[in-house]
Structures are given as structure tokens and as C-alpha cells.
């Protein structure tokens, strides 16, 4: 085994790339769950975003349009979850699972004609001056715009939830929908908007996989990333920065185990392949073990809201 083949700078910079799709999906789901809805369809929305983004980017030659289309596709698909759960009061767990299965099938169908194609490349942002700093430059300042967009999104979601009135209303709806309704807030409307936001984020995450990270379309390419995003939201205690840590740990271990495989470590590949999942969850469980009240799940999470008057 030759550990010197692993370049730490490259390792850390590719960690940020590996984490981005999961972080995007997890941030969207975080907002959804903060509004009191449990959408297990993240995986389905991600992969539909992946193929739609891929298809649009290939057809138009523009990755930007690809990402836009992916977000739109994710948001539209999420309505398939929003309508039964918010209007018809269907069970959220079953509807979410159905959405995942549907998304996997739909993406395979759309993707039939796109196997083996190469998407247009997304330019890397080369931040002037900063990108030329040795070590730090390649790690932090030579990525594609989506990496920075996602980091900004984390900060924005954190600030909106913590400081803005809109964030307060979302949290209130997720905490006690009856009380929010009694105060005159439109619970169903707020939740549908949150679900659509979650869908758009998941779609972006999927498109990031097929347009930048891999970049190619293969059936079932999300490979459980949506489920990891869900787990990260829970173990991250519904806090944006902890979700970021979780996604980066997952991305880091994923990249590290690839490198270890290449370096020829004397461990069966299967163990290495499962390590990101195990390590991420263990670390987040340890972080969230010190339970404070504010770190609990939204009190109305997964509960069906029925206006009684």
C-alpha cells in the first residue's frame, strides 16, 4: 500500500465536491422538516433532477439551464407528494416512499436516450488572487460556482430560520400547526411552498451529480445519496451548520476511501464502500447525543394537519 499516492490538497478539495449534492438535498429537506413535513421522497426527487438537468444541459449545451431545469423538475415532482399529503391528508411516510420509487422509475425512462453522453462542462470559478494562494487556493477557491452557491445557501437558510419573520413562521407551523392556524397562518400553503423548495434543492443536488461530480448519466446513479441526506438532517439536529458538517464528513470519507482503494489498502472493498455511511452516522449521533431542548425535532413533524373549522 502506498499512502504517498494520496495528495491531501486534492483530497480536501474533492471532498467539497463530493459533499455538495448531499448538502443541497439535505438543506432542502431541512426546511421541509422544519415546516413539519417528513418527505421521504428526496432520493426520487434527486434522481429526477439528475436526469432532467442532464437532458436539458445536453440538449441546450448550457449547464446553467440544466441546473435551472433540474430545480424546476424537483419542485414539480415534489407536488406529487404535496398534493396527497397536504390536500388529501394522506400518510406522509407512504407518500414519500412512493415518490422515491416513482422518481427512480421515471428517471430511468427519461434517461434511456442519454446513456453514454457527455454533458457540457461547467467552468470552474478561479477566484482572482485568492485562488493562487498555495494549498488554500486549490482547496477553497478553485471550485465550480455550485459549491459556493451551496455554502451561501447554508448560511442563508440558517439566517432566515433564525432571524427572519418568514423563518419564524415556518418554525411555528412545524412546531404546532393548530396554534399557527388559530393565529391565522396558512399552514397548508406554507408547507406546500416548503415542500417545493425541498424538491428544488434535491433536484439541484441530483443535477450536480450528473453534470459535475460524475459527470455522466447512469440509471440509479444517486445510489442512496437522498437517504443519506435525510439521515444527515435528523442527526444534524435540524441545524444547517451541523448538516453542513455531516455532509462534509460523508463527502470526506467517501473520497478518502476511494483514495485508499487506489492505494491498495488491505481491507475488502466492501468495508471501505460502507465506511462513509457508518462513520457519518456515528459522528452525527455523537454530536447530537447531548440533547438540548431546542435541538429536538419539530413537534408537528410528520403529523397531518386538518383544519377543524
Partner 1 sequence: MTENLLEINGLTKAYPGVVANDAVSFAIDKGEVHALLGENGAGKSTLVKMIYGLVRPDLGQMNLLGKRFSPPEPRAARAAGIAMVFQHFSLFEALDVAENIALGMENPPKQRELAARITKVSHAYGLPLDPHRLVGDLSAGERQRVEIIRCLLQEPKLLIMDEPTSVLTPKEVEILFQTLRRIASDGTAILYISHKLEEIRNICDSATILRHGKVVATCTPREKSARELAEMMVGCTLHEPLRQAVEFGDVVLEINDLNAPSRSQFGTALKHINMNVRAGEVLGIGGVAGNGQEELLAAISGETTGKAGTTKFMGQAIGNLGPNPRRKMGVLAAPEERLGHSAAPDMSLTENTLLTAASRQNLVKKGFVDWGKTRKFAKKIIAEFDVRTPGAHTAARALSGGNLQKFVIGREVMQNPRVLIVNQPTWGVDASAAAQIRQSLLDLANNGAAVVVISQDLDELMEISDTFCALNEGELTRPRPAKGLTVEEIGLMLGGAADLEAVNV
Binding site for partner 1 (CB under 8 A): 163, 165, 168-169, 171-172, 175-176, 178-180, 182-185, 293-294, 296, 298-299, 309
Residue 205: closest CA among 129, 262, 154:
154
Whichever of 163 and 271 has its CB closer to partner 1, that residue is 163
- Quick one: CA dihedral 145, 150, 151, 155, positive or negative? positive
* DSSP annotation of 4: G
Q: How many CB atoms lie within 10 A of CB 84?
A: 17
Find the shortest distance in angstroms from Cβ 309 to partner 1: 5
Which residues lie below 8 Å from residue 216, measured CB to CB, with a gap of 6+? 116, 117, 118, 119, 210
For 8-26, the DSSP string reads: HHHHHHHHHHHHHHHHHHH
Residue 94 vs 179, nearer CB to partner 1? 179
Q: How far is the CB of 176 from partner 1 (least distance, A)?
A: 5
| Smallest gap from residue 136 Cβ to partner 1 (A) | 37
Minimum CB distance to partner 1 smaller for 185 or for 277: 185
**Which residue lies nearer to partner 1 by CB, 9 or 179?**
179
Find the shortest distance in angstroms from Cβ 36 to partner 1: 11
Neighbouring residues of 37: CB distance < 8 A, sequence distance ≥ 6: 85, 86, 92, 174, 191, 194, 195, 301, 302
Instruction: State how far the Cα of 265 lies from the Cα of 285, in Å rounded to an integer.
Output: 28
How far apart are the C-alpha atoms of 205 and 142, rounded to whole Å? Answer: 20
Closer to partner 1 by Cβ: residue 106 or 300: 300
**Which of 83, 300, 87 has its CA nearest to residue 173?**
300
Query: In whole angstroms, how close is the CB of 76 to partner 1 at the nearest point?
Result: 29
- Pick the closer one to partner 1 by CB: 112 or 165: 165
Shortest distance (Å) from residue 237 CB to partner 1: 12
With a CB cutoff of 8 Å and minimum separation 6, the contacts of 184 are: none
Q: Which is nearer to partner 1, 56 or 180 (CB)?
A: 180
**Least distance to partner 1 from the beta carbon of 183, Å?**
6
Amino acid at each position: 500500500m502506498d499512502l504517498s499516492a494520496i495528495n491531501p490538497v486534492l483530497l480536501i478539495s474533492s471532498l467539497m465536491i463530493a459533499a455538495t449534492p448531499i448538502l443541497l438535498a439535505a438543506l432542502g429537506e431541512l426546511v421541509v422538516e422544519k415546516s413539519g413535513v417528513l418527505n421521504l421522497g428526496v432520493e426520487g426527487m434527486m434522481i429526477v433532477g439528475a436526469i432532467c438537468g442532464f437532458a436539458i444541459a445536453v440538449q441546450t449545451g448550457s449547464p446553467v439551464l440544466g441546473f435551472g431545469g433540474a430545480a424546476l423538475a424537483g419542485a414539480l415532482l415534489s407536488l406529487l407528494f404535496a398534493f396527497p399529503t397536504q390536500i388529501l391528508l394522506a400518510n406522509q411516510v407512504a407518500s414519500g416512499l412512493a415518490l422515491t420509487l416513482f422518481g427512480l422509475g421515471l428517471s430511468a425512462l427519461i434517461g434511456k436516450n442519454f446513456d453514454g453522453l457527455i454533458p457540457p462542462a461547467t467552468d470552474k470559478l478561479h477566484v482572482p488572487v485568492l485562488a493562487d494562494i498555495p494549498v488554500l487556493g486549490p482547496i477553497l477557491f478553485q471550485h465550480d460556482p455550485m459549491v459556493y452557491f451551496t455554502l451561501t445557501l447554508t448560511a442563508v437558510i440558517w439566517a432566515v430560520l433564525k432571524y427572519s419573520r418568514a423563518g419564524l413562521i415556518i418554525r411555528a407551523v412545524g412546531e404546532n400547526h393548530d396554534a399557527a392556524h388559530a393565529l391565522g397562518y396558512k399552514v397548508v400553503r406554507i408547507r406546500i411552498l416548503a415542500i417545493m423548495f425541498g424538491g428544488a434543492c434535491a433536484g439541484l443536488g441530483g443535477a450536480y451529480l450528473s453534470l459535475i461530480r460524475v459527470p455522466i448519466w447512469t440509471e440509479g446513479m444517486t445510489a442512496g445519496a437522498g437517504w443519506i441526506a435525510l439521515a444527515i438532517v435528523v442527526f444534524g439536529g435540524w441545524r444547517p451548520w451541523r448538516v453542513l458538517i455531516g455532509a462534509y464528513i460523508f463527502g470526506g470519507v467517501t473520497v478518502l476511501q476511494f483514495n485508499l482503494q487506489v492505494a491498495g489498502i488491505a481491507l475488502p472493498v466492501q468495508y471501505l464502500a460502507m465506511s462513509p455511511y457508518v462513520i457519518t452516522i456515528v459522528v452525527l449521533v455523537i454530536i447530537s447525543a447531548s440533547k438540548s431542548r431546542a435541538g429536538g425535532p419539530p413537534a408537528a413533524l410528520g403529523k397531518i394537519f386538518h383544519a377543524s373549522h
